[in-house]
Copies of this chain bind each other. A is one copy, B any other.
Amino acid sequence: MSGDHGPHIIVPAALKVLSENEDLQVIFVGDEAVLNQELGHQPPKVIQRISITHATQRVEMDDPPSRALRNKRDSSMRIAINLVKEGKADACVSAGNTGALMATARYVLKTLPGIDRPAIITALPNMQGTSTHVLDLGANIDSTPEQLFQFAVMGSVLTQAVDNLPNPRIGLLNIGQEEIKGNERVKEAAKLISSSSNINYIGFVEGDDIYKGIVDVVVCDGFVGNVALKTTEGVAKMISHYVKQSFTKNWLTRLAAIVSLPILNNLRQKIDPRRYNGASLLGLRGIVIKSHGSADILSFSHAIKEALIEVQKNVPSQIKQQLGILLSERRRIE
């Protein structure tokens, strides 16, 4: 029910993914009347794979997480996460309020053993035409070295599963300034990560390395990761703004725009943020995917596909297993 556009986007996006994946079943959680209207008439082979669970409340985009937790126990968000907890759903996908989603998911599902706090991870495009996963994107601030180590394990497992990479390259975000070369937390985290078997740690990386494709996972504190993500959005929007402005200046530039349109569209496809929609809330005892609030149908369908892959690969159980191995390995050494 949430996000900027609600069921008007979410229902058609789910129908799109349903038509592409015959194994998929979707439970729509929200206002039954509204959902039924959006669903309209569907063929039997779709009908038998969808159901509706009614919810009387909705978490608003500006609800503080505390209000969502305490006063909205019958919200579509809470009920959807409850379904995951009860084993009635394999994953929850939401375009709603990030803070509320994180707080609710953490409260209902709890974190995996060995995980202090969940983290938010997403894929970003890079110059090699592949993608770079970055975490944490804002669920944690002032992360300890131990937490950064947990992010590295989670990022490595997710990237193995989602991108089918046997040995993803893990980088730790730092600054290159010779004088200081990063803070104590980052240096300490580097020791923990580099001494773990099964983590392909390649060392410190800088902000621009996210987009070079020289690492598969970039690990950082949530404050820093959030700034990097938002800065990226800002730069991309500014460039896109100036491209539009330059091509619509006068009739001559509009003519050039027509000639260049297929090229610009091709370019847009390569770095289309919609293709990268679907951030995972990692470290929970269940799969929760956060779509951008302003997602359109294509964009939201990517978030659902992300959930599908994580279910098929059973990401939470893999994280639990991998972390268990590394922690017992560390105890043996100590």
Q: Which residues of A contact B (CB under 8 A)?
A: 62, 64-65, 97-100, 102-103, 125-127, 138-142, 173, 175-180, 182-183, 206-212, 220, 222-224, 226-239, 241-243, 246-247, 249, 253, 255-256, 259-260, 263-264, 266-267, 270-271
Contact = CB atoms under 8 A, between A and B. Distances in A.
Contacts of A239: 236, 239, 271
A235 B237 contact: no
Nearest to A209: B234
Contact of A178 (B97, B127, B175, B256): B97
Contacts of A253: 263
A189 to B, nearest CB: 13
A206 to B, nearest CB: 5
A261 to B, nearest CB: 9
A234 to B, nearest CB: 3
Nearest to A183: B141
B256 A270 contact: no
Contacts of A62: 178
Report copies per complex: 2
A254 B253 CA distance: 17
A21 to B, nearest CB: 30
Contact of A208 (B175, B209, B233, B266): B233
A233 B176 CA distance: 14
A206 B178 contact: no
Contact of A175 (B175, B211, B227): B227
Chain A at the B interface: SS class: helix
Nearest to A63: B178
Contacts of A270: 242, 246
A253 B265 CA distance: 12
Contact of A98 (B178, B212, B238): B178
A228 B175 CA distance: 10
Contacts of A125: 238
Interface centre among A140, A178, A220, A231 (most CB of B within 10 A): A231
Contacts of A243: 267
Contacts of A271: 238-239, 242
Nearest to A220: B227
Contact of A259 (B64, B139, B182, B260): B260
Nearest to A186: B223
Contacts of A233: 207-208
Given A127-B238, A141-B183, A223-B183, A256 B263 contact: yes
Contacts of A102: 179
13 contacts: A65-B178, A98-B177, A98-B179, A175-B222, A175-B230, A177-B222, A180-B222, A183-B223, A206-B226, A224-B227, A232-B235, A235-B235, A238-B271
A267 B238 contact: no
